[in-house]
Amino acid sequence: MAKLVALLVALVAAAGSSSCAAWELSIRMPTARAVEEAAARLDDEIRDAAAPLIHALRPLVGSAGELGRRAGVPCDSWRLAVEAYNKRDWKTVPASCEGYVGHYMLGGHYRRDSRVVVDEAVAYAEGLELAGNGREVWVFDIDETSLSNLPYYAEHGFGTEPFNATSFNAYVMEGSAVALPETRRLFRKLVSLGVKPVFLTGRSEDQRAITSANLRRQGYSGWEKLLLKPIGFKGTAIGFKSGERRKLQDAGYVIVGNIGDQWSDILGAPEGARTFKLPDPMYYIG
Amino acid sequence: MAKLVALLVALVAAAGSSSCAAWELSIRMPTARAVEEAAARLDDEIRDAAAPLIHALRPLVGSAGELGRRAGVPCDSWRLAVEAYNKRDWKTVPASCEGYVGHYMLGGHYRRDSRVVVDEAVAYAEGLELAGNGREVWVFDIDETSLSNLPYYAEHGFGTEPFNATSFNAYVMEGSAVALPETRRLFRKLVSLGVKPVFLTGRSEDQRAITSANLRRQGYSGWEKLLLKPIGFKGTAIGFKSGERRKLQDAGYVIVGNIGDQWSDILGAPEGARTFKLPDPMYYIG
């Protein structure tokens, strides 16, 4: 505790004595390496506590503060509007929110928010009365649900840069995305309960091999299906995904759950008996 | 700005020297009076900044902190799960989140989150190509959407106490609920655009006169309809509200928008062309 208070005092002192620009720089550009180094120094509790603290300090030390109403959109309210599906069809994260989103994703906040969603999903799954006939499935989205592309987005402005399909697909083909640990926990719980996971992704059919390899490498195994978008598919994400869920149902599967980071993973009949929306303040897929 | 940094340093100093128990007491039990007094002392900007700051400090100075994972649910993640419809069918706000929800509602955070939602709704409304035939309507929920019952909930634990229909209805019959200024702004904008507001509420028919009076007193006028629940109605909120929207549609109205604080205000066909979910961490109506 004394360590935490000391950290806080040091941060305040730094805010009081150093220039705002230095803060801006260190906050806006948290490289993956810098975060790893910081993480190694700080234990889990301190890391969780430090991230919101930095954001609380931002409006205090900034000239106007990205959280202030006068300096454009308040980033926390913007993020809430995204998660509650009030904000739709947006192309990029507001430029002034790059630092906020970066800290949200790399600090403990994103992980904590995801944990609460998955805790809810696990409690729901454990409460299910399963027929146990092998027809019960749970639909998992892949990007920002089962696998995290944070290493890519951290190098591309955390969603503030327009989406670049060429560079993103090159990244996908590396097969280096990391598991979202909370989702993997849900996945394994479902397998142990006898509910079969089905991956349903906007990735295209030519990315099947690398996607499958990436998933296995990150500890996923035992899925029932891996459904990818046909090459040249024209249509919306909602259209594609609800159509695939319909086919699953028509084939005799019962979709007991459905989890994704986009509302387009969730909306469109049949949705599944219960849906879960993981946080994603980095991009929007309609 | 110097004032803000001074405030921060004072808070840190207090955290370092005084007992944690004192913090717990003053944070967990924010009476309306204490908040008013604090608000009077602080200008708008400081109030906005101070509320999240206090929450950032909590995990640092508390023995475990209500935001820490070891001390039960992290309240900010719980709130996000509520707003994104991941948390459902809950009866009361977790007891450990009373202080958090109180500060959220009474500080600048709730207002700021509501403002972003309404800004989005206004932008959508301004972009509509209206037929101008007088058949275009926008559905407004009442409680925690058009009128705020915060004075009641502030005296009843901000949702941590089980709902008490008797005392709540007695409060409703006072007709003293206050307008949510952001929603009233949307309401007036729509009237000026020629879109007719329709109130659709879970309040019952015997509360028509007082509800109408309360709305007028709070600056609402020019609504097309005020639809209340029939006495003795059995059924869910979703069933009642989607049924009433269906009747509107069958009567030739076009529902261009729909705004409420509960997912049960929004879900269930016909939803309306576009829906907006205002924040409400105090209660859940299924």
Instruction: State the smallest CA–CA distance between residue A21 and chain B in angstroms.
Output: 15
B275 sits in which H/E element: strand B275-277
Contact flag B56-A59 (C-beta cutoff 8 Å): no
Partner residue facing A73 (CB), from B78, B84, B116? B116
Give percent helix, percent strand, percent coil of chain B, each to the nearest 5: 55, 10, 35
- Strands (E) in chain A, as ranges, are 136-140, 147-148, 178-179, 196-204, 225-229, 254-260, 275-277
Contact flag A53-B60 (C-beta cutoff 8 Å): yes
A 10 A CB-CB count for B207 gives 18
CB-based contacts of A102, cutoff 8 Å, min separation 6: A27, A28, A29, A30, A154, A158
pLDDT at residue B97 tops 70: yes
CA distances from residue A117 to A123, A268, A279, B82, B109 in whole angstroms, order as listed = 10, 21, 9, 10, 22
Which among B116, B119, B122, B266 is the top mutation candidate for probing chain A, defined by the most A β-carbons within 10 Å of its own β-carbon?
A: B116
Look up residue B134 and give its amino acid: G
Model confidence band, residue B71 (pLDDT cutoffs 50, 70, 90)? low
Helix (H, G, I), strand (E, B) or coil at A99: helix
pLDDT per residue over B120-144, tens digit each? 999 999 999 999 899 999 999 999 9
Q: Read off the tokens for A267.
A: 């909306």
* Segment A8-33 mean pLDDT: 33
Contact flag A68-B52 (C-beta cutoff 8 Å): no
Which residue has better confidence, B68 or B248? B248
pTM value? 0.79
Contact flag B69-A113 (C-beta cutoff 8 Å): no
* Segment B35-41 mean pLDDT: 37
Look up residue B194 and give its amino acid: G
pLDDT per residue over A137-173, tens digit each? 999 999 999 999 999 999 999 999 999 999 999 999 9
Supply angle C-alpha A58, A61, A66, rounded to 5. 40
Spacing of C-alpha A140 from chain mean position: 13
Look up residue B18 and give its amino acid: S
Bridge-based pairing of strands A178-179 and A147-148 is: antiparallel
Instruction: State the smallest CA–CA distance between residue A174 and chain B in angstroms.
Output: 32
Q: Does A112 touch chain B (CB under 8 A)?
A: yes
- Rounded to an integer, what distance in angstroms lies between the CA atom of residue A94 and that of residue B43? 27
Cis peptide leading into residue B270 (ω within 30°): yes
* Segment B92-110 mean pLDDT: 97
Task: Evaluate whether B187 touches B216 at the Cβ level (below 8 Å).
Answer: no
Q: Read off the tokens for A205.
A: 């059919």
Task: Give B138's strand partners.
Answer: B197, B257
Residue-wise burial string across A168-201, b where 16 or more C-beta atoms lie within 10 A, e elsewhere = beebbeebebebbebbbbbbebbbebebbbbbbb
> Does the complex come out with an ipTM higher than 0.95?
no
Contact flag B77-A113 (C-beta cutoff 8 Å): yes
Task: Evaluate whether A262 touches A89 at the Cβ level (below 8 Å).
Answer: no
Least confident of A258-267, B4-13, B66-75: B4-13
Contact flag A8-B1 (C-beta cutoff 8 Å): no
Supply angle C-alpha A259, A88, B101, rounded to 5. 70
pLDDT at residue B246 tops 70: yes
Helix (H, G, I), strand (E, B) or coil at A137: strand
User: Cα-Cα-Cα-Cα dihedral of A138, A141, A146, A147, to 10°?
Assistant: 160
All structural domains of chain B: 2-109 (no CATH), 130-277 (3.40.50.1000)
Model confidence band, residue B72 (pLDDT cutoffs 50, 70, 90)? confident
pLDDT per residue over B111-120, tens digit each? 999 999 999 9
pLDDT at residue A109 tops 80: yes
Least confident of A28-42, A63-77, B209-223: A28-42
Q: Does B112 touch chain A (CB under 8 A)?
A: yes
Look up residue B267 and give its amino acid: L
Percent over 70 (pLDDT), chain B? 75
pLDDT at residue A213 tops 70: yes
Contact flag A65-B49 (C-beta cutoff 8 Å): yes
Q: How many residues does chain A have?
A: 286
Mean pLDDT, all residues of chain A: 82
Which among B182, B163, B179, B141 is positioned nearest to B267, based on CA atoms? Answer: B141
